[in-house]
Structure 1
């Protein structure tokens, strides 16, 4: 059976091919009478017509695709953000091409080159590295970029993410109200903007509450991972710094704390309370359920998609940054401290 063409659709709908083309394109559908557009769409559906995006992009220099660059697709943080992006792009007639970089600069460069070879109209980049010369290079070349889950200094591009300072402040205030006075922060890697911002926010929160700001209370993880969190907590427990509460840089790091609690026989929250950050799915199924700073992931994605479409339609529009407010999901991993803080080797 021969594949139906645009001319077949136009003939079935009783319109000119140019009218059918406009009706089938979400961006130009408003140029066609609503009744005519419905007739064209019904004809296309009945014939099984599918537009050829490659042919359209060659004709219009518009691919209607966006490159989405993710550092780690296995991180549960990203799927709801991706869903939000797709929920914005889809109604506008755009689709996302998703690549995973494993946080490897060489892989990231090759993956972005591949996306550009497919004529994507812009990039949504979910990266956190502080030093990122590739982004500056892409910006100089006129590539439209939106950053997700990070901000950057010296680079005039739109960005959207959670308000890290507010989130860390919520976590520390909650623990202080429970009676905790001795903290450690298991920070994300400090060569990432998110790790550094949350570490600074932790130190600021300690000052706000008049608590001990000993630099040893900040222990940096090598990776945003369960293993990284476990290794950092072991270092904290083996140090002379006393603490009854842990503020983790993200939920994966907090999961690493659970592993160490089990291996060293530490009761949570009876001996040590812990708060995560991000609001990953299924944290309420842990024992104890994890208290965490919850991020509106889907909303982050929706806003990133909107920003990218704005950049495509209005290239001269000034870049804007959006910080979305987090909330605190209080669960069973936090409780008032028992007498005598944890300290020394366990």
Structure 2
């Protein structure tokens, strides 16, 4: 804690009692005013008065001491698969905003794609006594979640889901989103449409492929032109596009299950001297930041990423207040954003 110098003389350590006395309130009232999770219980005027006095005296709330008293750290661990992936920035913003409103802070970690590393990271976060976890890394049957549940730590999944509902989950309508993409291409007149699918180990890869196949079947079209990328990245998207074009010549459009895969398709088309959209139209999925700035701007399926993050954090806060809240799957709405990467086929 910082020290303050009073008019009466030498330095004195600012304490909760000194804040309460200067603000003219009881010590317990001062404690609530300085606790983000409890400040709503007293009037805004009192909160402002106490916080102003705390700032004047240089007081800092002792989070460790508070944790020892309450048995809670007020920390939530958030594990992402790739911090460099622009998709996760707005999700993280949403999580952080909702947690802050609830009086919690985040510890953010990159889990990568390796299960062993993810387990180690989660175990480290649990050792640091996080009150809950938000996982954006899960596979359809995920050993990391098993560790979390075994440790009794409230956990919420975001953006990706397991096949079985073992924990509260917030995802986009992946099947419906891919259906929008295919219906857009069909409405433009495309009949030979390929799909760049994500990994079959991930719910996003499987469900978006199902959406593609269902929409193609509804239009009476062949859905066999599918190339699977083992992970979401531009290089793998380019490789998957090369296989797609080599195996099914004559395609006029590609529906990608991820914007990074779609950008990989751009690279492969350019390498082959083909034009998007003059030769092949491309639709992405996610509407990640800056895809409206590429050439051509990418038609894509938009997910409410920030709202997804907020909703996941709110579900976790519910479970931190009541451990008996039943797990539920919550779907976020999607919409098609039409830009210049799609047009009628020649």
C-alpha distance in 2 between matches for 1:197 and 1:323: 13
How much has 1:34 moved relative to structure 2?
Answer: 4.9
- After superposing the two structures, state which structure 1 stretch, 101-110 or 285-294, moved more: 101-110
**Structure 1: gaps spanning 5 or more residues:** 339-346
Alignment pair present for 1:303 and 2:311: yes
C-alpha distance in 1 between matches for 2:59 and 2:322: 31
C-alpha distance in 2 between matches for 1:128 and 1:293: 22
Pick the aligned partner of 1:100 from 110, 126, 143. Answer: 110
SS at structure 1 position matched to 2:116: helix
Alignment pair present for 1:88 and 2:98: yes
Pick the aligned partner of 1:21 from 8, 28, 31. Answer: 31
How much has 1:31 moved relative to structure 2?
Answer: 4.1
Alignment pair present for 1:335 and 2:343: yes
Alignment pair present for 1:6 and 2:16: yes
- RMSD of the TM alignment (CA)? 1.5
Alignment pair present for 1:251 and 2:251: no
SS at structure 2 position matched to 1:247: strand
* Count of aligned positions: 336
SS at structure 1 position matched to 2:292: helix
- After superposing the two structures, state which structure 1 stretch, 6-15 or 299-308, moved more: 6-15
How much has 1:33 moved relative to structure 2?
Answer: 5.1
C-alpha distance in 1 between matches for 2:221 and 2:53: 70
Alignment pair present for 1:200 and 2:210: yes
Pick the aligned partner of 2:325 from 314, 317, 322. Answer: 317
Q: Do the aligned residues in 1 keep the contact of 2:33 with 2:39 (CA within 8 Å)?
A: yes
User: Residue 344 of structure 1 corresponds to which residue in structure 2?
Assistant: none
- After superposing the two structures, state which structure 1 stretch, 88-97 or 235-244, moved more: 235-244
User: Residue 141 of structure 2 corresponds to which residue in structure 1?
Assistant: 131
C-alpha distance in 2 between matches for 1:221 and 1:31: 51
**TM superposition score normalised by structure 1:** 0.93
C-alpha distance in 1 between matches for 2:335 and 2:55: 44
C-alpha distance in 2 between matches for 1:33 and 1:155: 41
C-alpha distance in 2 between matches for 1:325 and 1:39: 42
How much has 1:140 moved relative to structure 2?
Answer: 3.2
**TM superposition score normalised by structure 2:** 0.93
C-alpha distance in 2 between matches for 1:318 and 1:15: 40
C-alpha distance in 2 between matches for 1:203 and 1:83: 33
SS at structure 1 position matched to 2:289: coil
